Chains A and B, each alone.
Chain A
Amino acid sequence: MVIKKGIYCFLFISLFTPVFCQTINITSFELPNGLKVILSPSDDMQAAAVCIYNMNGARHDLADNRGISYLFQYLMFNGNENLESYDHVLFINKMGGIVSGRVSHDNSVFCDVLPASEINVALWLESERLKSLRLDDASINYQKNQIFNRINRLGEASLNFRAQTWINSRVFDGLPYAQPLYGDLNKIRNLNNDQIRESYQKFQNLSNILLIIAGKFDINELKAGINKYFQNIPPGKKSQEVIANISTPHSSFSVKNWVLPGLKNNFSFFAIKSPGKINYDFLYFDFLRYYLTDPRLSHLDYMINKVNKLNVEIEATYTDYFEANVLTIQMSCPERINLEKAKYILQQEFMALTTKLINNADFRAVRSLMEIDFNKNTYSLEDRCLRIGEFYHMFGELNFFDAYLRRLRRVSLYDILESAKKYLKKENQVILNVYGE
């Protein structure tokens, strides 16, 4: 009788569990040369993504060479001994695919999304890039100049860019994120080309690289392709790990006023230092960010513009770093009195969040929206590769999907209250006011 019940129980659990437990299938293996390969198949589409996730970013540049990793964002498309400049883009684009590349502080990600039937082309192109990269003086100098001109132009034209650079230097004081990705703009053209070439040896070191493939593929064909193109790449030595050196908390509170002649609008940039992605509190603060600033829910917009009718434009940006982040709320209004009122309301709202629970309806709406956004992002092959890579990079685990959803569904009102108490306090704030003369 006990056995019979056991069989029923087993059948019941084994049959129903996969139906109600949503998951994304992720597996991994390692090549003899140390390259870690992560696979996430999806059979309901005809596209695939091949992604090189590099666990090196701008923070790994030596202090004197800050900006080298950022240069690779452009040099990676420069061709190599078999391919001309931008041939990589040309190949993928010709078959209807999409190419992207991004160097951040913590990592660098290069991704090709293309028809599933052409997956071997992407494997070949990515392996070519790892084997050799065209790093002659002319190419490097060209990219240095391009970056200098682009950033210089941006700095001159964009108030937001200048403001965010200043805010980051204050909020992340003592952290690797305080400096921009490109380091000191005045020094970028003086970076030593030999050191750039030497850095590439470290940059393309296989032990720092994850090859992530998502979408539709035949596993046997794919493995054959991976072996063909990647197994001959020489192994490398493991370089430094990302260390979550949660810096000693110190107050970063500061207020600065800029006066710019000819400015029609008045601006206030309200920056809040917040937990990094590796931090357990990241999810809770993200919840607060959604609640306060996501345009689909924005509680701040509701309080400032609907309740108090101040007619203030509100925009928010959020960094995406492992160790610490900054939420920047930008408010702008031609009438300075309204902007000052909005700043007061913002502080009152922060205060309210640290003393009382948000209402249940808002809580449920935010949680639903976060889950919807998360599911939407993981449906996109490129985003899925990025999330898998980041999760493995930070925690050494693959199943980001279940881990995130499990935690999100367990978030309570009290977690949000505690997070608000911890992060919305004055010591975490940096305020930059920009007024017209």
Chain B
Amino acid sequence: MSMANKFLSVGKSSQWLIAGLFIFYGIAHLGADTRQFSLSTAKGFPIRVLQDNEMHFVHAELFIFLDSSTQNYNSLIISQLTILNMFARELNSPSSNLLDSLLRLGNDYQVEQTPEYIKLSINFLPDRLASFTKVLRDIFTYQSFHLNKFNLSKAKYWSFFVKNRDWKKDIAFLLAYQQIVGNFYFSQGLVIQEFINGINLAQLRSFHLKTFRIDNSLLIIKGNVNPYIVLGLLEKDLPVLARTPAKSKKEAIKIHSGRKIFVLNNNVSDYPMIYWFDVAPPLTDVNYLPFFIGNFALFGFPGGRIYQSERSQVLLGGYKVSTDIYSLKNFTVFCNYLRLNYADLENFLLLVDQERKKFSVRSIVRKEYLDALNYYLGRAQVETGNYAYGMQQMLDRYQTPPASPLPSARNSESAREVTFERVVQVMDTLMGYKHKTGIRERGIIVLIGNANLIINNLKILKTDVVELRMD
């Protein structure tokens, strides 16, 4: 018998085994493209899985939404103290099950808060998936609030806050958000120690009970994981759903984006930071991209008008402006920021206003429009190299009401809908360039640095300054 015949003569069960192995091989070596799964546990916990076979670790983001449960606890400090007490590594004494579980998972996690949600990002190795679902259970059933830890978190609130490298930007955003949405969640203003001292532990427990609920959360997982194994583990580990409390009625959001300048005193021997906030349409809105293009034409580096204008002025040293975009449900906030000399503060601020006004006489030109569009599409491709890529889109899609159009992916098709004329129109109406018609300057400015030096260097803009002291 030839070798081939010998092989073919193996028993039927063996043939099935070989076929099975080939099928397994096929599944395991499935194309490298990221696949998306949308699942939900029987208890109503929504899960989104981005299966990426080339990722050698798992990145998970748990969103706990805030906007539907804050009517009785409408204060930033309660939620921030809750996060500190649950997740701050510095406060693991006495130890809690949650922090011990996170340690076993590798301890690579961070928690951040926006006005709309608390986001827990965790990275772990794929073989710790079972431990990860137990961490989620520990989060939803957390009961380790401890008086000593609570008192310490209150006493050291600011020292914890400034440990974050981006604390200046965070606090600038809080201030701007407070100004933009005067009647909403952060409206009680900047957190001050007297207010912190007035909070009690029961408020934290109650906040946790009402907010950290599986029907008020979303889990997005990215990595080389089997979505059905994730689902099975979550079905097994997550707690039984508690009775849903009556949802409070949401207040309508009124947006104020008029000019305001804040100075935040921070006595360190460093250059001051400028944060420039503008309110823009939400990502799902057709006017979002025109706004982006306008902002890029102004602040973009190195082709933006401000940078080009700076370079032509002897007084300014060619400062590079960075841009961050905060995507919220009803609008986005563009934050343009930079660090510069005290002596250049006023010149720079005036230059920005001057360049914005100039749009009314020298509208955006086709080259600027094409450059911005090119940048927008290119950046979208570059971002695919980030391991957290895809998470924000998943969240946006989850939050989009069923009747609304889905947020479009950043691609050439969506960009084609943005005509040159529309950009000009949006810039006129949304960014306040119609100076001739008497519209006041827009944009909220937050300056962080030595307040005395800042105020001394603001001569023309002085009247608008509001000083807030952190210490």
Chain A contacts to B: CB under 8 angstroms: 3-4, 7-8, 11-12, 15, 18-19, 22, 42-47, 49, 86, 89-90, 93-98, 113-118, 157, 215, 295-297, 301, 305-306, 361, 364-365, 368-369, 371-373, 375-376, 378-381
Contacts and interface: CB of A to CB of B under 8 A. Distances in A.
The 7 closest A-B pairs by CB, nearest first: A96-B378, A96-B379, A368-B106, A115-B381, A47-B385, A95-B378, A45-B384
The residue among A115, A301, A361 with the most chain B CB atoms within 10 A of its own CB is A115
Given A42-B54, A45-B385, A380-B385, A90 B302 contact: yes
B183 interface: no
Contacts of A22: 56
B105 interface: yes
Contacts of B55: 375, 379
Nearest to B385: A47
Interface in B409-466: none
B6 A4 contact: yes
Contact of B107 (A15, A94, A96, A365): A365
Nearest to B108: A372
A386 to B, nearest CB: 14
Interface in B348-399: 371, 374-387, 389
B21 interface: yes
B10 A4 contact: yes
Given A113-B382, A372-B124, A96 B108 contact: no
B65 to A, nearest CB: 26
Contacts of A297: 103, 107
Contacts of A12: 21
B18 interface: yes
B124 A114 contact: no
Given A4-B6, A45-B389, A371-B106, 12 more contacts: A12-B21, A15-B22, A18-B28, A42-B54, A44-B33, A47-B383, A93-B301, A95-B375, A95-B378, A114-B382, A157-B269, A365-B106
Contact of A361 (B31, B90, B104): B104
A365 B103 contact: yes
Contacts of A42: 32, 54
Contacts of B14: 8
Contacts of A295: 89
A361 B93 CA distance: 17
Given A93-B302, A379-B55, A369 B385 contact: no
B104 A364 contact: yes
A372 B21 contact: no
Contacts of B34: 44
A114 B104 CA distance: 37
B229 interface: no
Contacts of B302: 86, 89-90, 93
Given A297-B107, A306-B90, A372-B108, A43 B381 contact: no
Given A44-B54, A372-B108, A296 B374 contact: no
B6 A3 contact: yes
Contacts of A45: 384-385, 389
A3 B5 CA distance: 12
A371 B104 contact: no
Contact of A3 (B3, B33, B104, B106): B3
A107 B159 CA distance: 38
Contacts of A95: 374-375, 378
B57 interface: yes
A3 B374 CA distance: 60
B16 interface: no
Contact of B29 (A18, A98, A371, A378): A18
A365 B104 contact: yes
B103 A115 contact: no
A86 B311 CA distance: 13
6 contacts: A3-B3, A49-B385, A115-B377, A375-B125, A379-B55, A381-B385
Contact of B32 (A4, A43, A98, A306): A43
Contacts of B382: 47, 96-98, 113-115
B123 A376 contact: yes
Interface string B45-57: 0000000111111
A52 B156 CA distance: 46
The residue among B378, B380, B385 with the most chain A CB atoms within 10 A of its own CB is B385
Interface in B80-125: 89-90, 92-93, 103-108, 123-125
Nearest to A25: B54
B10 A296 contact: no
B75 to A, nearest CB: 28
A19 B24 CA distance: 10
The residue among B29, B376, B378, B380 with the most chain A CB atoms within 10 A of its own CB is B378
Given A86-B302, A96-B375, A296 B25 contact: no
Nearest to B156: A311
The residue among A19, A301, A378 with the most chain B CB atoms within 10 A of its own CB is A19
B340 to A, nearest CB: 14
B429 to A, nearest CB: 27
Contacts of B383: 47
B58 to A, nearest CB: 9
Given A22-B56, A96-B377, A379-B387, A44 B32 contact: yes
A305 B385 contact: no
A368 B371 CA distance: 44
A369 B374 contact: no
Nearest to B126: A22
B128 interface: yes
A121 to B, nearest CB: 10
B455 to A, nearest CB: 22
The residue among B31, B57, B89 with the most chain A CB atoms within 10 A of its own CB is B57
A180 B3 CA distance: 69
A118 B384 CA distance: 15
Contacts of A157: 269
B125 A114 contact: no
A38 B380 CA distance: 26
A364 B131 CA distance: 14
A235 B106 CA distance: 48
Nearest to A364: B104
B96 to A, nearest CB: 14
B303 interface: yes
A295 B123 CA distance: 15
B24 A215 contact: no
B124 A117 contact: no
A146 to B, nearest CB: 11
B60 to A, nearest CB: 12
A376 B375 contact: no
B378 A361 contact: no
A171 to B, nearest CB: 27
Contact of B381 (A116, A368, A371): A116
